[in-house]
Amino acid sequence: MTQSSFNDDLFRLVVEEIAGKEGVDVATVLVNTDETTDEEIATKTDLKLNTVRRILYKLHDNHLASYRRVRDTSTGWFLYYWHIDPRRAQALVNRKKRMVLSRLEQRLEHETNNDLYVCVNRDSSPVPFERAMTLSFRCPVCNGRLEYVDNSQAIRFLRKQVEELRADLEATSSI
**What are the counts of helices (DSSP H) followed by strands (DSSP E) for the chain?**
6, 6
Classified as helix, coil or strand, 162 is helix
pLDDT above 70 (res 124)? yes
Q: Could you tell me the domains of the chain?
A: 8-86 (1.10.10.10), 90-173 (no CATH)
Nearest to 83 by CA among 22, 41, 48, 49: 41
pLDDT above 90 (res 152)? yes
In this prediction, residue 172 carries a pLDDT of 82
- The CA distance from 168 to 175, in Å, is 12
Q: How far is CA 109 from CA 39, 101, 159, in A?
A: 51, 12, 10
pLDDT above 90 (res 157)? yes
161-171: buried (b, 16+ CB within 10 Å) or exposed (e) per residue?
bbeebeeeeee
pLDDT above 70 (res 18)? yes
Q: Can you spell out the DSSP letters for 32-79? A: TSS-EEHHHHHHHHT--HHHHHHHHHHHHHTTSEEEEEEE-TTT--EE
- The CA distance from 161 to 111, in Å, is 14
pLDDT above 60 (res 4)? no
pLDDT above 70 (res 98)? yes
pLDDT digits (tens, 9 = 90+) for 139-150: 999 999 999 999
pLDDT above 90 (res 87)? no
**pLDDT tier at 2, thresholds 50, 70, 90:** very low
> Among positive and negative, which fits the CA dihedral 143, 147, 148, 151?
negative
**pLDDT tier at 108, thresholds 50, 70, 90:** very high
pLDDT digits (tens, 9 = 90+) for 23-52: 999 999 999 899 999 999 999 999 999 999
pLDDT above 60 (res 1)? no
